[in-house]
Amino acid sequence: MPQYGWHVNIDNCIACRACEGACKQEFMLPTGVRRRQVIVHEGASNGKPFRAHLSMACMHCASPACMTACPVGRYWKDTAENEALRTAFGMNANAPTGLVLMKPSKAQDPVNGVDCIGCKRCMSACPYGAIEFDETNKRADKCIGCYHRLFNTSLPEERRKPACVVTCTSLALHFDDLTKIDGGAYGTVQAKPGIPGKDITDPNLTKPSVRFTPQRNIG
Dihedral, CA of residue 152, residue 155, residue 156 and residue 161, to nearest 10: -60
Render pLDDT for 64-77 as a digit per residue (tens, 0 to 9). 999 999 999 999 99
Taking the alpha carbons at both ends of the chain, their separation in whole angstroms is 34
In this prediction, residue 34 carries a pLDDT of: 95
With respect to residue 71, please indicate whether it lies within any of the assigned structural domains.
yes
With respect to residue 40, please indicate whether it lies within any of the assigned structural domains.
yes
Give the structural domain span for 58.
4-213
Give the pairing type, strands 210-213 and 4-9.
parallel
With respect to residue 87, please indicate whether it lies within any of the assigned structural domains.
yes
- Partners of 71 in the β-ladder: none
CATH of the domain at 71: 3.30.70.20
Q: How far is 119 from 152, CA to CA, in rounded Å?
A: 34
With respect to residue 51, please indicate whether it lies within any of the assigned structural domains.
yes
Q: Give per-10-residue mean pLDDT for the chain (219 aa).
A: 93 95 96 94 83 93 97 98 97 97 97 97 96 96 98 96 97 97 94 78 92 79
Q: How far is 55 from 39, CA to CA, in rounded Å?
A: 6
Render pLDDT for 41-94 as a digit per residue (tens, 0 to 9). 888 878 888 888 999 999 999 999 999 999 999 999 999 999 999 999 999 999
Burial of 169 (0-12, 13-18, 19+ CB in 10 A): exposed
In this prediction, residue 48 carries a pLDDT of: 82
With respect to residue 199, please indicate whether it lies within any of the assigned structural domains.
yes
Q: How many domains does the chain have?
A: 1
Q: How far is 30 from 28, CA to CA, in rounded Å?
A: 6
With respect to residue 218, please indicate whether it lies within any of the assigned structural domains.
no
The values of phi and psi at residue 112, to 5°, are -105, -5
With respect to residue 9, please indicate whether it lies within any of the assigned structural domains.
yes
- Partners of 62 in the β-ladder: none
With respect to residue 219, please indicate whether it lies within any of the assigned structural domains.
no
In this prediction, residue 1 carries a pLDDT of: 72
In this prediction, residue 218 carries a pLDDT of: 66
The sign of the dihedral angle between the CA atoms of 171, 131, 102, 24 is: negative
Among 99, 142, 144, 104, which Cα is nearest to 120's? Answer: 142
Q: How far is 107 from 103, CA to CA, in rounded Å?
A: 11
